[in-house]
Amino acid sequence: MDGIQGLTYFISKTAPGNLSFLLARYGASVGERTALHSPLYIQNAVSGDLSNLRIGRHCYIGCGVLMDLVETIDIEDDCCIGAFVHFMTHFDTGDRPLRRFYDRQTGGIRIGAGCFLGTGCTILHGVTLGECCVISAGSVVIHDLPAYSVASGVPARVTKKLSP
């Protein structure tokens, strides 16, 4: 395994203390005081590097997080990303019969400052979360959510508004 696939495999096996350096070395932006936990899974780094990944200052990224880098993933400052969260920036059935029914869709993901994403939730392509959103564990976010929203379910729906 070589090239970007080799690099992303190596990242998945890297100790937490080395992740920030390694991500930055290959084009990602990782802010100060950000804690990254292993394993961190990266797939589809189509730009040939990790420049589609930007993580702000003072963030927490839990173990087993999956980042699909067909498009950009921007995680702003002070976010907490629980274990096994999936960021999926594209949907594509590939060269299969379902292609007749489902076109390829891509879109960047932006997670606003101060958000909390619970364990095992999934954020789909093109989604923007406003600042200080809370996403319940296991939820699937398919559309933008306004700031200070608490959302849960499949698909995720706003269940509460926080007072800023």
Q: Give me the residue spans of the domains in the chain.
A: 3-161
Per residue of the chain (164 residues), give pLDDT as tens: 568 888 899 999 999 999 999 999 999 999 999 999 999 999 999 888 999 999 999 999 999 999 999 999 999 999 999 999 999 999 998 889 998 998 989 999 999 999 999 999 999 999 999 999 999 999 999 999 999 999 999 999 999 999 98
Instruction: Give the pair of three-digit tokens for residue 76.
Output: 């702003």
Per-residue pLDDT, 37: 97
| 137 half-sphere exposure, CB direction, 13 A CA radius | 5
Q: Which fold, 3-161?
A: UDP N-Acetylglucosamine Acyltransferase; domain 1 (2.160.10)
Identity of residue 60: Y
- Model pTM score: 0.95
In the chain, DSSP assigns E strands to 29-30, 35-36, 40-43, 53-55, 60-61, 65-68, 73-75, 80-81, 86-88, 90-91, 105-106, 109-111, 116-117, 122-124, 128-129, 134-135, 140-141, 149-152, 157-161
